[in-house]
Amino acid sequence: DHTDTKFYDQYLKKMLEKKPPYPLLKGFLHRVVGLYPDSRTWFDGGAGTCGTMEALLNAGKDVKGVEISDVRKTSCAGMSSAGRVVQATLDSIPYPDGAFDVVFSSEVLEHVPPSLAAASVNELVRVAAKDVFVTISLRRSGLDPRRGPTKVHLTVRTRAWWETLFVQAGCEVNRGNLRAMEEYDEARYGTRPNFFSFTCSKGGGGGQGGRVGSD
């Protein structure tokens, strides 16, 4: 049960490349960066168009990432040739344990099939030295039917359900960070994203990755 890579190639071309990446569109990336002033290495899980990675590079961060679509043929091509992003799924991240000061993923986990949700969370935690910050949609996509099986948001669950997966992977909710993100300008940016912040034990996750990204 793996995510449909061909579907996401088309989803990226038809939907994502027509607008700024979500963390920039919703105006919160700079605030997340500000939560971790001493961080140097960042990971973007589900890089999409690589616009978020470019913004993190511009903010002075050493960033790597994975993306399910063919990064050699999208707006990620430059990042791909530079060895910063590789084509991979979140349930098998090709980087070593604890490789990144901050692991970031925005509006990606809801696209993962339910059978791979725990493995994907475990992998995000595994490659984090300590800090994980994600946003997750908790409702059906507007592109999905109102009832029956979904194609876009494959795992629609509650906040408590996702938090439990991260806690089981060796994390604690970072409530200080969540308080810092409470203020949000919905008049300017629309509906507030679902922010999740975790502090995780080193070597958590117990996943199956570990290859340095050289695919």
Nearest to 103 by CA among 52, 49, 154, 51: 52
Tell me the residue ranges of DSSP E strands in 2-160: 41-45, 62-67, 85-87, 100-106, 128-135
- C-alpha span between 4 and 17 (Å, rounded): 18
For the chain, helix (H) and strand (E) counts, in that order, are 9, 7
- For the segment 65-106, what is each residue's pLDDT rounded down to a tens digit? 999 988 998 899 999 999 999 999 999 999 999 999 999 999
At 4 the pLDDT is 58
At residue 213, the pLDDT reads 37
Q: Beta-carbon neighbour count of residue 178 at 10 Å? A: 13
For residue 17, the model assigns a pLDDT of 58
Sheet containing 195-200, strands listed edge to edge, beginning at the edge strand earlier in sequence: 85-87, 62-67, 41-45, 100-106, 128-135, 195-200, 171-173
Say how many CA atoms lie within 13 Å of 209 toward its Cβ.
Answer: 30
List the one residue out of 127, 106, 99 whose CA is nearest residue 53. 106
Would you give per-residue pLDDT tens digits along the chain (215 residues)? Answer: 445 556 655 555 555 556 789 999 999 999 999 999 999 999 999 999 999 999 999 999 999 999 998 899 889 999 999 999 999 999 999 999 999 999 999 999 999 999 999 999 999 999 999 999 999 999 888 877 888 887 888 899 999 999 999 999 999 999 999 999 999 999 999 999 999 999 998 654 544 444 443 33
d(CA 43, CA 151): 26
Contact 94, 118 (CB under 8 A): no
